[in-house]
Every structure is written in C-alpha cells, then in structure tokens.
C-alpha cells in the first residue's frame, strides 16, 4: 500500500507495532529517544506537520496552535483526555482534534479498584514492612485496616470509567453512589443500584470512599477544593485516577497529614511528574506513576484508533473519534 505523503509527526515513542504500521501507511516522523519535546521542538513540529500525534505530556496551547503552519489540519491525540489541547484555539484555526475513547475504560477501572482495595487494607504499607525486614510475624492486632464490603462508594463522574468502577465495586459488596451534572439513564442506575446525588457536598459528607472519574476541564479544576475536602468524614478515603488538577493537592496533603481524611490512593498529580513532597512520606497514601491506562493491550488499541483517525481524515472523511467542543 502506498504511503500518504502528508507529514505525520509523533511527539513520543509509541509501541513498535503502532510505529511500524504508521511508517507503512504514512510519511511518519518518529521520536526515537522518547524524550518529551520542549516548547521549541513542539512549535517546530506544528510548523511542519500535516498531522500531529501528541500525548498528554504535550501542552498544545493557543500559542503553539498559532505557530502552526497552514498545512496542519489534524491533531490526532494518543489518549482519551484532551485537557492538554486548547480546543477552542484549534477550532478557530480549522484544526480537527481526535482522541482514543473507550479502549482504556477497563484498564483504568482496574487501577481504580486496586486503589480502593489497597488504601483501606494498607497493602503498600504492608509490602514496605516486609521488604524493609521489619515484619515480625502475624499478630492479632498487626496491620489492621478496614474492609470495603458494605462501604459506600461515591463516584464523581459516572461515565464509561465510572460505570466500570461501579460494576467492580458491586462485586465487592459496596453501595454505589454518584455525582454527575445530570443523572444517568434509569436503566444504568437500576443495573448498578446507584444513588444519584445532585449536590456534591452532600454526597462527600456521607461516603466512605470517594473515587474521581470525571474529565478535567476548566469547570472541574479544583472541583475538590479545600472546603469540599473538609466535608469528607475523617474515616473516608479518596482515590484519584482521573487528573491531578481536579483536586487541590496542597489541601489534600494538609488534610491527610492532620488525619482529617483517613487516606488516599493517587495515580495522578497536579503538577506531574512532580509530586507534593510531603505525600512521599505518608504511610496512609498509595502513590502510582500514572499507570491507569498502562497495559500493552490498551496501548495497542490506542494506536489502532489513532491510525484509523488519521487514515480516515487523509482519505477525505470525518474521523470517527472527532472531539467536538470538548465532548469526549
């Protein structure tokens, strides 16, 4: 099959199979070093590319888009979230933005569920105890945690991932509650036996575990502010595998340190890859390196979606995963 001659530039290294297929189909420029592009390199890329394939580590703001050459007509993002792209600026410039929805749902929900289990049962703390040679054997009062069976789980954002989390949590005997801008379809509520809370503050004050599964937008920046976090019961746990900016990380750290919140499981951070230093020393916090979607199967599926979006666009059709006004 003849390659399309339009330049496709990848900002990060993708799985070999994905890159090989892109080289077969397109005039693709790869990032062999897998070092994130600095701002100058990113601007150089948009000046030359017909199609840009960025990831969540690339900040495609209005200034970067303004620097783009007239030939750049598609930003085919490798990922579901699009908070790293100024969608309004792209729309004004006539640039289509696509993402890779759906393929990461189960992978991310698995990590969320692992954090829901890990924090109350102190799994990371126990692992560190054994590895540090400090474990002296079983004891009736040793490493006591809390069961999750019978606990109330409050999900912020009952979309695809939130629903997948709810299905897993029900299997562990948890009671499902959720907050959205609007209630989900009654059939979904019935399937999940989920209780809708229009008022987020009311839900926060009544839950045992809070899981954040909503998109990150200007409306959800610091959705869990210091004031809101204070509404959580002192025995409650917070799990976040969505985006770090949804939570006021400094406030969360303070409340964890003062035991106003019992613990947290975090896969994302407000200023990645930097993590608030005090969090690193806390025993009641499980910290993961943004691996919610990090499965081989998921990455290959993401690559397939990017390729389909590019191929469809270059063939003159509307790509299937076009992002419209920030809707994913």
Q: Which of the residues are catalytic?
A: 243, 272, 290
Distance, CA of 284 to CA of 264 (rounded, Å):
7
What is the number of residues in the chain? 328
- Rounded-to-integer distance, Cα 213 and Cα 163, Å: 9
**Alpha-carbon distance 251 to 231, whole Å?**
12
Structure tokens given for 104: 């990461």
Among 194, 187, 213, smallest CA distance to 265 is for 213
Query: Cα 25 to the chain's mean position, in Å?
Result: 29
215: three-class secondary structure by DSSP = coil
The DSSP symbol for 247 reads B
* CB environment 44-82: b (16+ within 10 A), e (fewer): ebbeebbbbbbbbebebeeebbeebeeebbbbbbbbbbb
């Amino acid at each position: 099959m003849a390659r399309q001659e339009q330049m496709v530039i990848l900002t990060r290294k993708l799985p070999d199979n994905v890159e090989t297929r892109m080289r077969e189909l397109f005039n693709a420029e790869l990032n062999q070093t897998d070092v994130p592009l600095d701002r100058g390199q990113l601007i150089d890329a948009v000046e030359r590319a017909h199609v840009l394939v960025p990831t969540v580590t690339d900040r495609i703001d209005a200034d970067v888009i303004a620097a783009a050459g007239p030939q750049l007509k598609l930003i085919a993002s490798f990922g579901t979230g699009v908070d790293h792209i100024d969608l309004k600026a792209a729309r004004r410039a006539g640039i289509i933005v696509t993402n890779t929805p759906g393929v990461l749902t189960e992978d991310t929900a698995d990590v969320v569920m692992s954090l829901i289990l890990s924090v109350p049962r102190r799994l990371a703390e126990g692992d560190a105890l054994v590895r540090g040679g400090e474990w002296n054997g079983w004891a009736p009062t040793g490493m006591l945690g809390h069961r999750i069976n019978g606990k109330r789980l409050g999900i912020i954002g009952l979309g695809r991932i939130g629903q997948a989390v709810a299905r897993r949590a029900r299997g562990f005997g948890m009671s499902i509650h959720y907050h959205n801008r609007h209630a989900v379809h009654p059939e979904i509520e019935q399937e999940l036996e989920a209780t809708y809370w229009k008022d987020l503050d009311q839900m926060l004050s009544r839950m045992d575990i809070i899981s954040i599964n909503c998109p990150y937008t200007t409306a959800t920046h610091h959705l869990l502010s210091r004031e809101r976090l204070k509404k959580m019961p002192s025995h409650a746990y917070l799990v976040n595998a969505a985006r770090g900016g949804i939570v006021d990380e400094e406030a969360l750290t303070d409340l964890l340190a003062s035991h106003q919140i019992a613990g947290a499981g975090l896969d994302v951070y407000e200023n990645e890859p930097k993590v608030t230093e005090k969090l690193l020393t806390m025993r009641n916090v499980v910290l993961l390196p943004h691996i919610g979607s990090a499965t081989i199967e998921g990455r290959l599926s993401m690559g397939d979606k990017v390729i389909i979006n590019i191929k469809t666009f270059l063939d003159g059709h509307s790509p299937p995963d076009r992002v419209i006004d920030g809707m994913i």
